[in-house]
Amino acid sequence: MENDVFVDTNVLIYLLDGNNEIVPFIENKILHVSFVTEMELLSKNYITKIEIKNIQLLLDCCILYDFTNQIKKIAVLLMRNNRLKLADAIIASTANYYNIPLITADARFQNIEGCTIIKL
């Protein structure tokens, strides 16, 4: 699983916006995402059909994880102990549960115990 990375929503937003500085962090990697990331990307205000298509193409290249009871229990603890918002807690707890490093540009993830963070 050394080529696996769990990708926070902000990383995919930067990539979709054409930020090529992201590429070295995800190139030749197996990308994993939470259903939360899928929802966040597709719920953007005033999204165009082309943007939806590009998002779907990107998500098709990722392994997508749904919500489970185990992830819910970890998310509750992360929210309690790290003051994370619900979406962030679900993303972090999913990466934590599957033991996959989380790549993010969000500083709030920096000190989460039990979660390996790759900070952009």
Q: What is the pLDDT of residues 5-54, one digit of tens each?
A: 999 999 999 999 999 999 999 999 999 999 999 999 999 899 999 999 99
Q: For tokens 């994880």, name the residue.
A: 65
Here the CATH number for the domain that contains residue 92 is 3.40.50.1010
**77 lies in which domain range?**
4-119
- At residue 1, does pLDDT exceed 80? no
> Whole-prediction pTM value?
0.93
Q: For tokens 């920096």, name the residue.
A: 110
- Number of domains present in the structure of the chain: 1
Name the residue among 82, 101, 87, 90 with its Cα closest to residue 32: 101
Pick 1 or 77 by higher pLDDT. 77
